[in-house]
Amino acid sequence: MPKIQAPKGTRDFYPDDLLKRRYLERLWRDTSIRHGFEEIDGPAFEHADLYKVKSGEGILAEMFGVFSGKAAEDLDRVRQTGEAPFALRPEFTPTLARMYAARAGALPKPTKWFWMQNCFRAERPQRGRLREFGQWNCDVMGGDGRLADKEALAVMRGILDEAGLTAHDLSININSRQVTQALMREAGVPDASHAAFLGFLDGSAKRSPADNERRLHEIGVAVQVASRFGSIVQEFASAHRSGNQEWETRLAGTDIERIHDVLRDQDLQQGRPWIVLDPEIVRGLAYYTGMVFEVIAEGERAVAGGGRYDNLIELFGGPPTPAVGFGMGDAVLSLLLEDKGLMPDATRAMECLSRLPASYRPEGFVFAAGDEAQPRVRPLVAELRRGRASEAWRNRSDRKPWDADRYAACGVRPMHARHSYKATRNIGKLLQDAAAQRARFAVILENEHEATLKDLDTGSQDTTRTPIDRVPAELARRLTPA
Amino acid sequence: MPKIQAPKGTRDFYPDDLLKRRYLERLWRDTSIRHGFEEIDGPAFEHADLYKVKSGEGILAEMFGVFSGKAAEDLDRVRQTGEAPFALRPEFTPTLARMYAARAGALPKPTKWFWMQNCFRAERPQRGRLREFGQWNCDVMGGDGRLADKEALAVMRGILDEAGLTAHDLSININSRQVTQALMREAGVPDASHAAFLGFLDGSAKRSPADNERRLHEIGVAVQVASRFGSIVQEFASAHRSGNQEWETRLAGTDIERIHDVLRDQDLQQGRPWIVLDPEIVRGLAYYTGMVFEVIAEGERAVAGGGRYDNLIELFGGPPTPAVGFGMGDAVLSLLLEDKGLMPDATRAMECLSRLPASYRPEGFVFAAGDEAQPRVRPLVAELRRGRASEAWRNRSDRKPWDADRYAACGVRPMHARHSYKATRNIGKLLQDAAAQRARFAVILENEHEATLKDLDTGSQDTTRTPIDRVPAELARRLTPA
């Protein structure tokens, strides 16, 4: 009998391979949980129509059809239309939108979900691109959109930090489709061609000039217009780099100010800034409406990508719900970590996997007792989630992210921290919120400098105040079983 | 736009649902690891031909076809033959056999693998039966077949124990196809019809008499012969219950003695015996060659099922390799745990998931320094893997498997324990084996009563001897970080 191989573009994971995959998944899951995301899952195959709503041509052209071999009507449909009733999920966002829409009324605002499973695309397999690949998604639906953008970027940066990657290895390039569309208008791209032109831009750098010309012709955009658009983008990028404010006015009516707000965010940009404006980023999926972003490492495909999709949940029958999210695949991330010496061998991976996972219960729930302390809430939450690597570890030239001493001694391990999304300053109500989210400790910022801790399991509250910058170490100490 | 639903027979997991699913997976993974199994994975879809090798008609009739929407030749094939080039995996064993065969020369004997992912069957959805469902597989390939049978049953019993199920809730019913075939011969079933008759027997109790008669006719077995076979099975079952030895002779040439060996095994049967002979069990898959078994709970479909498949790996191009394995689905197990009050709510599941997982490194590697101690090796390994619930917990009437005090105080938590499969008594070689398997402690049984512990990380070996029955507590103490 001839040996049957695995389908091309799929992988067999022998034990040592799987340990590395589980290491990545552990990073994904632990980081998501510490940032207050909850895990969900949906079917591996969906009605093919689900992807026709708004995923765009790129996705539709690369789907695997699925049909029941038992149902004659399924087979008839394939024979007659060439299309299968079901498709292997090429991405998770349509399932997420369907699930959110089905229960929108009962879900909190914001709802923060993560998801980790495989996706499937009938692409030509190449480096970093497979037909079955692992993907991690994080999405924030509802609530304050500006905050949600930052939360999505923060959890994404969190995983890169935890994996040992730095701003020397990659950058997070952001843009807004609203900005891109304003630039299209300046260049004279007809309004009716905006969506198609966005589709054209994604990947245009990888296509031949002839191929690009052919596509422009198809979508009814003159080559001169496209060329003018390219020049305007360069002009904008260069003005942005030199701090020229004139563009703020030209881009009025777009979310350019929100993009600048992200670029200025201290928590997201701490250390060497990772996040840069890149007006050439548009992303391929048809449903993005505002901010879009990509994690870019030299010589590799995008490590992650995402954006804001404010209309998608409504399209799936839910209420109007602003939303933002991203996906990160395991294939490119694995290549990058291997290249940088940041992928543990099987023995190291076993050690990591045998350690205590992130706490599903929030360990610290932070809120301010008054307005003056409010600006300290998010930075403290960010610090708790990040942890603080020990000095001994930071000074080691051969340090690796999985070293047991990374957060030992004078370091502070990363924790699961949350803050309230409620506008109230009523401490009783905020404590109820903490309890409803099953938090272990409430961290009450009494003023700009001091906090008190309340153990929500025992109900005992400190009378002494802890300086805010010592809260992470103090909370870690209280959480360690005696 | 009409709302698009999830395909029937699939599930959406919202956060609280997923916590329960992750709780089951955690039980599966931790128990597998503690029993020395290593995790693997393969593609979610395979070439459809992979399942034609030996999975049998039942599986083939319920496959989901998969084809690339991009490949014209794929679609042509579906149109012309009604068959897709790929299929969603209806079961994992063919992938496992393919993977084992591809690397057989480099793999240890035995090779112990586990796997946890979803499978897909185009069945009519009903209670405990879904079109996409989670499955846990454990397989032992190569090595001593008798021991392998027991190892498969032990890890399966291990998960049931850990989940809080007891012999009051279910039984493990075993049989052998060799025995069934000997009984077929006695009844006069033609040799050429044996395989088809096995297929007929699986599920015959659920079909109408008319349907059964029609099927018998199709496979060329007379109704009287089938009826005689039924009587012989009853006669054998009743003789077995009354301890009648005559059948041993009539079944000479089969593996009946191996089945009895399993039934007598002290480690497998400790407490109220779970494992019973049930000559009506044959299992549906076409590749089983010897022992077959099912975990049966009243009023539910089989919780788990498996058996010995000694020819399958060779069929996939590997060397002749005896093998045994089983699968357990999440759907029936969930229903059973919910019914028995053994499924944690989301808060309890969060607590369990936040605890220390099983150690991927073997914590104890047990071997005997001489022949007299050899019989103590496997019972000690079994005890280490099982742990010992605390008396306080056992005395609680409201005890639950997830209680934090289950293994606290005077209890001993379950550990990852292994023994050597090598025949040698050379201690140096056995220590090398322990080190090669990355074990933390070697447990050297010096004689029938005493052991010494050697810390393989520091190289320090005890001079004092520990009574064997105190090894679990002592090892747990040594492993706890100071």
In chain B (482 residues long), the average pLDDT of successive 10-residue segments reads 86 97 98 98 97 85 93 90 95 97 96 98 92 98 96 97 94 96 95 92 89 94 95 94 86 93 93 91 90 93 95 95 97 96 96 96 96 96 96 93 91 96 93 95 97 95 92 95 64
**Residue among B330, B413, B265 nearest B130 (CA):** B330
CB contact under 8 A, B45 and A316: no
CB contact under 8 A, B356 and A358: no
- Cis, bond preceding A94 (omega within 30 deg of 0): no
Q: Is the dihedral of CA B65, B70, B71, B77 positive or negative?
A: positive
Quote the CA–CA distance of B379 and B389 in Å, as a whole number. Answer: 17
- CA A186 to chain B, closest CA, distance in angstroms equals 34
Q: At what angle do helices B145-162 and B377-386 cross, to 10 degrees?
A: 20
Q: What is the DSSP letter of A2?
A: P
pLDDT of amino acid A2: 60
Quote the CA–CA distance of A15 and B113 in Å, as a whole number. Answer: 8
> In the A/B pair of chains, how many CB contacts fall below 8 A?
227
**Residue among A363, A298, A358, A309 nearest A332 (CA):** A298
**Strand arrangement of the beta sheet that strand A304-308 belongs to:** A38-39, A111-120, A132-141, A323-329, A304-308, A291-297, A170-176, A275-277
Residue B64 touches chain A, beta carbons under 8 Å = yes
pLDDT exceeds cutoff 90 at A30: yes
Q: What backbone torsions phi and psi does residue A29 show, to the nearest 5 degrees? A: -65, -50
Give the mean model confidence (pLDDT) for residues A446-456.
96
CB contact under 8 A, A103 and B66: no
Question: Mutating which of B68, B93, B359, B479 best tests the A interface, going by the most A Cβ atoms within 10 A?
Answer: B68
Share the mean pLDDT of chain A.
94
In contact, B275 and B269? CB cutoff 8 Å: yes
pLDDT in tens, A84-135: 999 999 999 999 999 999 999 999 999 999 999 999 999 899 988 999 999 9
3-class secondary structure for B323-379? EEEEEEEHHHHHHHHHHCCCCCCHHHHHHHHCCCCCCCCCCEEEEECCHHHHHHHHH
- CA A125 to chain B, closest CA, distance in angstroms equals 13
From chain B, pick out residues whose CB is under 8 angstroms from the CB of A132.
43-45
**Residue among A393, A386, A403, A387 nearest A341 (CA):** A403
Q: What is the DSSP letter of A388?
A: B
Given B46, B64, B103, which is nearest A68 (Cβ)?
A: B64
pLDDT of amino acid B363: 98
Q: Rg of chain B's alpha carbons, rounded to an integer?
A: 24
In contact, B32 and B155? CB cutoff 8 Å: yes
pLDDT in tens, A369-381: 999 999 999 999 9
From chain B, pick out residues whose CB is under 8 angstroms from the CB of A26.
none
Which residues, including other chains, have CB under 8 Å from residue A370's CB and lie 6 or more apart?
A: A425, A446, A447
pLDDT in tens, B62-106: 999 999 988 889 999 999 999 999 999 999 999 999 999 999 999
In contact, B121 and B63? CB cutoff 8 Å: yes
Comparing alpha-carbon positions, the chain B residue that sits nearest to A50 is B4
pLDDT of amino acid B1: 55
Task: Report chain A's terminal Cα–Cα distance, integer Å.
Answer: 62
Which residues, including other chains, have CB under 8 Å from residue A379's CB and lie 6 or more apart?
A: A266, A267
Quote the CA–CA distance of A122 and A478 in Å, as a whole number. Answer: 51
pLDDT exceeds cutoff 90 at A7: yes
Residue A72 touches chain B, beta carbons under 8 Å = no
Given A12, A64, A347, which is nearest B69 (Cβ)?
A: A64
B405 Cα distance to chain centroid:
28
Enclosing H/E stretch for A201: helix A194-201
- Which domains occur in chain A, in start order? 1-42+92-358 (3.30.930.10), 45-88 (no CATH), 360-482 (3.40.50.800)
Write out residues 319-378 of B within 8 Å (CB-CB) of A. Answer: 347, 350-351, 353-361
Quote the CA–CA distance of B347 and A437 in Å, as a whole number. Answer: 10
Q: What backbone torsions phi and psi does residue A466 show, to the nearest 5 degrees? A: -105, 130
Quote the CA–CA distance of A318 and A311 in Å, as a whole number. Answer: 10
CB contact under 8 A, B38 and A22: no
CB contact under 8 A, A355 and B356: yes
pLDDT of amino acid A482: 58
pTM (two decimals): 0.96
CB contact under 8 A, B113 and A6: no
Q: At what angle do helices A256-264 and A177-187 cross, to 10 degrees?
A: 130
Quote the CA–CA distance of A139 and A321 in Å, as a whole number. Answer: 12
Quote the CA–CA distance of B59 and B51 in Å, as a whole number. Answer: 8
Which residues, including other chains, have CB under 8 Å from residue B313's CB and lie 6 or more apart?
A: B97, B100, B101, B104, B141, B319, B320, B321, B323
What tokens does A27 get?
């990073």
pLDDT of amino acid B482: 57
pLDDT exceeds cutoff 60 at A1: no
In contact, A415 and A387? CB cutoff 8 Å: yes
**Strand arrangement of the beta sheet that strand B275-277 belongs to:** B38-39, B111-120, B132-141, B323-329, B304-308, B291-296, B171-176, B275-277
Q: CA dist A479 to A30, A471, B479, Å?
A: 17, 12, 21
Write out residues 247-266 of A within 8 Å (CB-CB) of B. Answer: none
Q: Rg of chain A's alpha carbons, rounded to an integer?
A: 24
Q: What backbone torsions phi and psi does residue B141 show, to the nearest 5 degrees? A: -115, 135
pLDDT in tens, B188-230: 999 999 999 998 998 888 899 999 999 999 999 999 999 999 9
- CA A267 to chain B, closest CA, distance in angstroms equals 27
Write out residues 105-124 of B within 8 Å (CB-CB) of A. Answer: 113, 118, 120, 122
Paired sense of beta strands A450-455 and A466-467, if any: antiparallel
Given B41, B103, B359, which is nearest A18 (Cβ)?
A: B41
Write out residues 22-41 of A within 8 Å (CB-CB) of B. Answer: 22, 38-41
Given A43, A61, A83, which is nearest B70 (Cβ)?
A: A61
In contact, B277 and B174? CB cutoff 8 Å: yes
- CA B131 to chain A, closest CA, distance in angstroms equals 10
Q: What are the CB-based long-range contacts (under 8 Å, 24+) for A5-9? A: A5/B47, A6/B42, A6/B43, A6/B46, A6/B95, A6/B98, A7/A131, A7/B43, A7/B45, A7/B46, A7/B47, A7/B86, A8/A125, A8/A131, A9/A123, A9/A125, A9/A130, A9/A131, A9/A132
Burial call B403-430: b when 16+ CB within 10 Å, e when fewer: beebbeeebbbbbbbbbbeeeeeeeeeb
pLDDT in tens, A161-206: 999 999 999 999 999 999 999 999 999 999 999 999 998 998 888 8
Task: Give A448's pLDDT tier (boundaries 50, 70, 90).
Answer: very high
